[in-house]
Amino acid sequence: MRAGENTVTIEPYLYIFSESGVMQVGYPNRGTRAYSFRGDALFVVSSCLFVLIAFLSVFGCRQPEQVATPTFDPDEGRYFGPVDVAISCATGTATIRYTTDGTKPTASHGQIYTGPIHLTSATTIKARAFKDGMIDSEEAKAYYDVIGYMVIP
């Protein structure tokens, strides 16, 4: 290869570069084969698309991962007397925000979860988790039907 040539490494076994309107594909120990940009337009388009796809896969142009959806403990349901609800997220160091007023938690709205939520009446909890560099979690929702103590005469 000479100085000034544009090169993109696709795999350890293949390299593609262009100079003066000619595409050359090099195979180790087998030399190179030149293709003219002025030739078959379909070949040029498909070759350029191949190079673009290979470039994106090599250099990690992928969508970021999503933060895991928060979970509640205990599960939603009917409780006789107060209940303490813990919220957790499988994505380490994610910030969990929750609401109890029916609104959707966002990165800037809702209380930051710091410990179990003490419920003494019927409440719906909505929670989402957030972490820099990742897609926000899906919303988790649980309804706790907390009723007073039951006295049996």
pLDDT digits (tens, 9 = 90+) for 58-96: 555 567 899 999 999 999 999 999 999 999 999 999 999
Identity of the amino acid at 79: Y
Q: Is residue 150 predicted with pLDDT exceeding 70?
A: no
Domain limits for position 138: 71-147
Give the E-state strand segments of the chain in sequence order. 6-11, 14-19, 22-27, 31-36, 71-73, 77-80, 83-88, 95-99, 111-112, 117-119, 123-130, 140-147
In terms of domains, do 52 and 75 share one? no
In terms of domains, do 80 and 142 share one? yes
Residue 51's pLDDT is 64
Residue 153 resides in a domain: no
